Amino acid sequence: MRSHHSAVPARTSAPAPRAARREPASPADAALGRATDLLEKPRLRGWIHAGMTPLALAAGIVLIVLAPTTPTRWASAVFALTGVLLFGTSAAYHRGNWTPRTRLVLKRLDHANIALVIAGTYTPIAVTLLSPARGAVLLWVIWSLAVAGVLFRVLWVHAPRWLYVPIYVLLGLVSVLYLGEFWKVSPAITILIAVGGAAYIVGAVCYGFKRPKLSRDWFGFHEVFHVLTVVGFTCHFVGITMAVLAAR
């Protein structure tokens, strides 16, 4: 009888380690994680960019149609495309309740689009406000930096905020080197570019420091960041439209 009872624990205890190893990948845990994430989101998370997506698309189409030359049409198309990608991907990423794998893919795309929209914004500005030689230099510099930023975020998606947020800010500050030349062409357009850039930078600071948290249920620091991206994009769109329509 003693030998019979001593064999029972060996049979009943063996499966436990295998169950523990499978536990992190269980569907129940994944569902619980997604539910927790959904509950922690303010209710307006993603809706600001969701509403902006069709507006950016419609405004971009109008800008392309009104552009008077082939270079300005192409530059306007790049600006419009990067804007729609930014808002559309952000809306999908923040509104959806995704699996961990899908969420990671969307996060990579969402963060990569920030670098792309910065370069996309510079494109019509360089084409319309700078000489061909100076514009070409700016485009080479900004798109090279943007591609590097995209690769950085895609390959290191979990990089700390203190590292990647300043990269976006520095990418945007490249325009400071050209403000004098922009001003000679149009002070009004230059002011719009500067105000839009300031809105983006303040938004990046809010995102980096996770402040202010105005309402846990409705409107957190991320919503402040999204509002400021809309303000920045709108200022730049108005300025770019003025520059494109004045181009000949």
Binding-site residue ranges for Zn(2+): 94, 222, 226
Angle between helices 100-129 and 221-246 (to 10 degrees): 30
Angle between helices 47-66 and 221-246 (to 10 degrees): 0
For 244, the enclosing helix (H) or strand (E) is helix 221-246
Secondary structure letter of residue 14 according to DSSP: T
Cα 198 from Cα 192, distance rounded (Å): 10
Neighbouring C-alpha atoms within 13 Å toward the C-beta of 235: 18
* CA separation for the pair 206, 180 (Å, rounded): 29
Tokens of 233: 């994009």
Q: Nearest to residue 243, comparing CAs of 110, 160, 119, 127?
A: 127
Closest by CA position to 247, among listed 82, 76, 118: 76
Q: Which residues are annotated as a binding site?
A: 94, 222, 226
